Amino acid sequence: MVEEIKVSFIGAGTVGRSLIAMLDGKHHLIERKYGIRFKLVAIFEYDGALIDEQGVDIQSLVYGKNMRRMDAWKPGITALETIESLDFDLLVEMTPTNVKTGEPAFSHIKKALISGKDVVSSNKGPFLLHFDEIMGLSRQTGKKVRFEATVGSCIPVLQSWRTSMHGNKVLRIEAILNGTSNYILTRMANEKLDFSIALKEAQERGYAEADPTLDIDGHDAAGKLVILANALMGMARTNKDVKVEGITHINPEAINMASKEGFVIKHLGIADEDGTLEVKPFLIPKNSPLGAGITGTLNAVRIVTDLSGEIILVGHGAGGDEAASAILSDMIDIYLKS
Amino acid sequence: MVEEIKVSFIGAGTVGRSLIAMLDGKHHLIERKYGIRFKLVAIFEYDGALIDEQGVDIQSLVYGKNMRRMDAWKPGITALETIESLDFDLLVEMTPTNVKTGEPAFSHIKKALISGKDVVSSNKGPFLLHFDEIMGLSRQTGKKVRFEATVGSCIPVLQSWRTSMHGNKVLRIEAILNGTSNYILTRMANEKLDFSIALKEAQERGYAEADPTLDIDGHDAAGKLVILANALMGMARTNKDVKVEGITHINPEAINMASKEGFVIKHLGIADEDGTLEVKPFLIPKNSPLGAGITGTLNAVRIVTDLSGEIILVGHGAGGDEAASAILSDMIDIYLKS
């Protein structure tokens, strides 16, 4: 028996478009292997929405058609006013992150849960500011919330913890959570570049934003660290609780000195059961799992548990396809019959 | 509501004793967090069994009491003749591995499934020889089989794949699956030791068996590779299908030459969707996730997928506690209500 799940997207940027292409390319596999058929009934954007209760025309979108020129486009309609009344099962929240307010994603997620919809989100904001409130609402309503893509993108840290380390207690997390800062530090180490040159290169290659502040000052990593600490260690913290130090003052001399002693400098987030929550540059032995092998835009999370010792997960923590892959896995997992 | 699950162990060696200690130490957590109470009703050994339908006296075992001196000890009783008639829900198979026949574990597992019992196993033998038959029997009987501990011990490779990468297809696996051979190669590289010296040191430290043949000739890794390839890539292969080359001919000169060019030599298992299945020494860039950072007895598995790119999982792939942790997680996962 194939179960049909009606889905609404909010946000049709890089991630949303990747996800639409995956739903199109993988729909046979998803039906056959998991017994699920996702019917996309709405895509909300900032200036309107594509709404079709029979299922929006995914193929045309994949072929590049502008959704605003499609018959089902309703200009001016907002997600917030529509979530409750529209008939669907799952909200996929992919709006841009606002780390100060968590909005509009936080309101979307609350509204969806209260209206009896499950939620998958790639948006860090609500989870680094209002983790406890969202989880409480999920318990109250019996509706599920998944957010793998918010930390390390497709690296399955949250889901592995939920499903693969039962009985364990997490004692400590050490993680490289920002690909931009890791790319800069890698290039500085390997090519003896100054910080500013490495940053410029990262921007030219599309690995850093025009305004890279959140990445290089550690606040992006801090937000992800909070989500990890809350989800894996039962903390109830926000990004304001993280002591943060950036990498702008790291110079080639420091990297060189570290290297001579067998270390690399990595921008590490650390959460410890003693309450420590910090992001700062650390000396890490080159020849260790979080050391010189975590190059470029890779992310890595080291989870120290009481029974299993250390488990390290590594992968590409950014990119439209990577985030979409994490979202797709979350979407399937919610409706999977074991 | 707490669900009581009646469990039988086969094997009370290092792993079995670790698991008994964990069940004792974690039973409050397991009840509170997962709603499960495991009642251990039998422990089978080669020369008899401890059987108590009210639950065997775990505390006395944890405090070191010899089970053969306990009232509930029944000398001469075998698992194979008892599995069907004894009232329990879950068989935990922890007998020593036989890679030629898979026995007696294979018979235990078949008998348990046919008798309506779920199975968790740490024994590679049955899975590298009879993967398809076991999975077929699991589907027929509707009983579950979990075997995370057979590959990389507590590194959650199998379960992460089952639960955290839905929608993905695995294109390729590259993995360091034997801690003994990786320890030897690491020591040879870091201390310029000859193979025979490094092996002797590994034996003295307890990282290598008195007869290390299966570890250093690649056959242990080959067995794990087959299980990975079958479970993650839908292959139906056995350990006889793997092309195997050991590490005994690796010398310090080769390691040194590789090092000068920025490489380390790692004993790698590779499964590719083109059908390749091989274990042999490979040159790996030092500064890559499977490179110089995977030191000593660490294991590492790189999974290349179509949607998520590469995901690498690292951890300690051997040890009684590590295997027991993997088994405990499997035990809980079978009965967990999502």
Residues A117 and A177 in one domain: no
Residues B298 and B236 in one domain: yes
Cβ(A165)–Cβ(B315) below 8 Å:
no
Q: What is the pLDDT of residue B137?
A: 98
Q: Answer yes or no: is B41 within a domain.
A: yes
Q: Which residues of A touch B314 (CB under 8 A)?
A: 289, 310-314
- A164 with B168: Cβ contact below 8 A: no
Q: Has B224 been annotated as catalytic? A: yes
Residues A242 and A139 in one domain: no
Which CATH number characterizes residue A189's domain?
A: 3.30.360.10
Residue type, B313: L
Q: Is A283 exposed, middle or buried (0-12, 13-18, 19+ CB in 10 A)?
A: middle
Residues in chain B: 338
Q: Which residues of B touch A175 (CB under 8 A)?
A: none
| Helices of type H across chain B | 14-34, 58-62, 79-82, 105-114, 124-129, 131-141, 157-164, 179-191, 195-204, 213-216, 219-233, 252-260, 320-335
Q: Answer yes or no: is B238 within a domain.
A: yes
Q: What is the pLDDT of residue B210?
A: 87
Which CATH number characterizes residue A43's domain?
A: 3.40.50.720
Residues B329 and B260 in one domain: no
Residues B122 and B172 in one domain: no
The secondary structure element, H or E, covering residue A15 is helix A14-34
Residues B77 and B179 in one domain: no
Q: Which residue has the tokens 């009581």?
A: B4
Q: Answer yes or no: is A8 within a domain.
A: yes
User: What distance in Å separates the CA atoms of residue B290 and residue B264, rounded to the nearest whole number?
Assistant: 9
User: What distance in Å separates the CA atoms of residue A33 and residue B156, rounded to the nearest whole number?
Assistant: 22
Strands B3-10 and B90-93: parallel
Q: Does residue B285 sit in helix, strand or coil? A: strand
Q: Which residues of B touch A139 (CB under 8 A)?
A: none
pLDDT of B146 > 80? The answer is yes
* Residue B291 C-alpha from the chain's centroid: 23
Q: Answer yes or no: is A328 within a domain.
A: yes
Cβ(B294)–Cβ(B214) below 8 Å:
no
User: What distance in Å separates the CA atoms of residue A122 and residue A226, rounded to the nearest whole number?
Assistant: 15
Q: Answer yes or no: is A159 within a domain.
A: no
Beta bridge partners of B263: B285
Q: From the candidates B34, B163, B233, B255, which should be mutated to test the interface with A, based on the most A CB atoms within 10 A?
A: B163
Q: What is the pLDDT of residue A210?
A: 87
Q: What is the pLDDT of residue B338?
A: 63
Of B158, B148, B100, whose CA–CA distance to B126 is shortest?
Answer: B100
Q: Which residues, 6 or more positions from B159, have their beta carbon under 8 angstroms from its beta carbon?
A: A160, A163, A164, B146, B148, B329, B330, B333
Residue type, A41: V
Q: What is the pLDDT of residue B337?
A: 82
Q: Answer yes or no: is B12 within a domain.
A: yes
Residues A252 and A330 in one domain: no
Q: Does residue A159 sit in helix, strand or coil? A: helix
Beta bridge partners of A43: A9, A50
Q: Which segments of chain A have a pLDDT < 70?
A: 338
Q: Answer yes or no: is B159 within a domain.
A: no
User: What distance in Å separates the CA atoms of residue A203 and residue A191, rounded to the nearest whole number?
Assistant: 17
Q: Which residues of A touch B155 (CB under 8 A)?
A: 311
Residue type, B267: H
Q: From the candidates A18, A19, A33, A166, which should be mutated to test the interface with B, based on the most B CB atoms within 10 A?
A: A166
Q: What is the pLDDT of residue B62?
A: 95
- Residue A304 token pair: 């120290």
Q: What is the mean pLDDT of residues B130-145?
A: 98
Q: Does residue B227 sit in helix, strand or coil? A: helix
Instruction: Encode pLDDT of A155-173 as tens digits.
Output: 999 999 999 999 999 999 9
Q: What is the pLDDT of residue A337?
A: 82
Residues B108 and B187 in one domain: no
A190 vs B: CB within 8 A: yes
Backbone phi, then psi, for A77, in 5-degree steps?
Answer: -70, 140
Cβ(B186)–Cβ(B295) below 8 Å:
yes
Nearest CA in chain A to B159: A164
Residues B79 and B137 in one domain: yes
Of A45, A159, A67, A222, whose CA–CA distance to B308 is shortest?
Answer: A159
Q: Answer yes or no: is A275 within a domain.
A: yes
Print the domain residue range for B174.
164-316
Residues A328 and A226 in one domain: no
Q: Show the CA angle centred on residue B282, arms to residues A314 and A157, nearest 5°.
A: 10
Instruction: Encode pLDDT of B238-285 as tens digits.
Output: 999 999 999 999 999 999 999 999 999 999 999 999 999 999 999 999
Q: Which residues, 6 or more positions from B143, have their beta carbon under 8 angstroms from its beta carbon?
A: B112, B113, B116, B117, B118, B119
Residues in chain A: 338
A148 vs B: CB within 8 A: yes
**Beta-carbon neighbour count of residue A216 at 10 Å?**
23
Cβ(A327)–Cβ(A214) below 8 Å:
no
Backbone phi, then psi, for B254, in 5-degree steps?
Answer: -60, -45
Share of chain B above pLDDT 70, in %: 100
Nearest CA in chain B to A29: B167
Residues B168 and B222 in one domain: yes
Query: In angstroms, how far is the first alpha carbon of chain A from the final one?
Result: 14
User: What distance in Å separates the CA atoms of residue A323 and residue A204, rounded to the nearest whole number?
Assistant: 22
Instruction: Encode pLDDT of B316-332 as tens digits.
Output: 988 899 999 999 999 99
> Which member of A192, A224, A266, A280 is catalytic?
A224
User: What distance in Å separates the CA atoms of residue A231 and residue A222, rounded to the nearest whole number?
Assistant: 14
Cβ(B45)–Cβ(B96) below 8 Å:
no
Q: How many domains does chain A have?
A: 2
Q: What is the pLDDT of residue B318?
A: 87
User: What distance in Å separates the CA atoms of residue B38 and residue B120, rounded to the nearest whole number?
Assistant: 13
- A328 with B156: Cβ contact below 8 A: no
Residues A85 and A68 in one domain: yes
